[in-house]
Amino acid sequence: MCSIILRRDETGLCIAANRDEMASRPWDPPADYWPGICGGRDLLAGGTWAAVNRHGVVAALLNRQGTLGPATGKESRGMLPLLALTQPSARAAMAHLRDLDCGRYRSFNLVLADALGAILLRGLEAGRPDVEILPSGTTMITSGEPNDTACPRIARHLPRFTASPFAQWGALLADSFGPRAAQINIPSSENNGFGTVCAMLIRLPRQGAPAHCFAAGPPDKAPFQPIPWPA
C-alpha cells in the first residue's frame, strides 16, 4: 500500500509519496529512460510507479487494496503513467486516458497533477476509469479513497501533513512509528520483505521552476537528493 499526499493552493501544488513494494522486486531510480519523461523504472515489467514530464506533469500509480503484483492475463499498470505523460497537462492526460479499458489491468489509483491541480483516475477492472478532480487543500491517498479516515494510515498521518509546511513533509514520510496498519514508512524486515523502498518530494509552482527530490531507499535511511527535471 503506497501513499501519496498532495497540497494545492494559490501558489501551486506539492506532492510527497512513499512507494511500498516487495524488496525483491528490482527497480532503477529516476532518470530519463523515456524521451521527455523522468521516473523510476520497474525492471520486472518495464514501466514506472511515478514520473514527471518536461511540461511539468506528474503521474503516480497506486495499487488498490489486495492487488499487489502482476496477475495472469492483465497488463502492467506501470505503463499507465507513461501513457499519461505523453500529454502537456494533467487535464489533457485525463482526457487521453478517459476511454481506457480498465478490464485490461488490476485495479489502480492513478494521480495526475500539474501546477494547476490534481486528478484521480480509479481503475476498477471493468469499464472506463472513474474520474475525480481533487480539491484544494491537503489530500492523502493510499489503496482506497482519498482522505478516508477509516484507513488507519490516513487517520494518523493526514492531520500531520495538513498542519505541516512542505519543508517538513520529508520527515513525515520517514516516520515508522505505530502499528503496521498506521505506518507510512513500513520496515520491510518486519513484513516478509514488503515495505517502503523509496520516496519522492515534488514541488510544482505556478511561478518558477518545478523541483523533484528522490530518496533511493526508505526515507528514514536514504537522503532526499535532487533529480534534474527532464528537458
**Mean of the pLDDT values across residues 95-112?**
97
- In the chain, how many domains are there? 1
Q: What is the model's pLDDT at position 170?
A: 98
Region 165-173 average pLDDT: 98
Q: Is residue 231 in a domain? A: no
At 73 the pLDDT is 80
Does residue 75 lie in a domain region? yes
Residue 69, pLDDT above cutoff 80: no
Beta bridge partners, 25, equal none
Please indicate, yes or no, whether the overall pTM of this predicted structure exceeds 0.85.
yes
Whether residue 204 is contained in a domain is answered as: yes
Domain residue limits at 90: 3-226
CATH number of the domain bearing residue 164: 3.60.60.10
Residue 132 lies inside a defined structural domain of this protein: yes
For residue 161, give every residue at least 6 positions away whose Cβ sits within 8 Å of its Cβ, in sequence order, or none: 5, 7, 16, 138, 140, 169, 172
| C-beta of residue 189 within 8 angstroms of C-beta of residue 217 | no
